[in-house]
Amino acid sequence: MSNFVSFIIFMAVLLMDAEKRIRLLQFVTGTSRVPMNGFAELYGSNGPQLFTIEQWGTPDKLPRAHTCFNRLDLPLYESLDDLREKLLMAVENAEGFEGVD
C-alpha cells in the first residue's frame, strides 16, 4: 500500500469523532478497547496479530473486516470522501457478536 493511500486512510480516521473511531476499532478487531500496551499487543485467533490493512475489491464495494486477523480490507477508493462514506457505512451497519468484548 502506498504512502499516499496510507495517508488518506489516516486522514479518514482522524476526521472521525471518538465514537466512530471506537466503532471502527470494534469493526476490525472485535473489541472496542486498545490493548493496555498499545496496538503492538493485539492478538488474533492464533496469537499476536498486528492490525493490518489490505487492498481488496473494487470501489463499489464496502470495506470488510476479519476480526480474527485484525485486518481491514479496503478497495482503492477514488477520493477521501468516498473512503469516509464507505468506511462509515460499513462500520455503522456491521453486526458482530453483541456483548462480547
pLDDT, mean of residues 47-76: 93
13 occurs within a structural domain:
yes
Cα(6)–Cα(89) distance, integer angstroms: 20
| pTM (predicted TM-score) | 0.84
97 occurs within a structural domain:
no
Give tens-digit pLDDT for 17-57. 999 999 999 999 988 998 888 888 888 878 888 889 999 99
27 occurs within a structural domain:
yes
50 occurs within a structural domain:
yes
* Structural domain count, the chain: 1
Supply the range of the domain harboring residue 21.
3-33+40-92
- Residue 17, domain CATH: 3.30.2410.10
Q: Which residue has the higher pLDDT, 100 or 9?
A: 9
61 occurs within a structural domain:
yes
Q: Is 68 a catalytic residue?
A: yes
Cα first-last separation, the chain: 30
18 occurs within a structural domain:
yes
99 occurs within a structural domain:
no
98 occurs within a structural domain:
no
pLDDT, mean of residues 52-67: 94
User: Exposed/middle/buried for 83, CB within 10 Å: 0-12, 13-18, 19+?
Assistant: buried
pLDDT band at 101 (very low <50, low <70, confident <90, very high): very low
Catalytic residue among 68, 81, 89, 92: 68
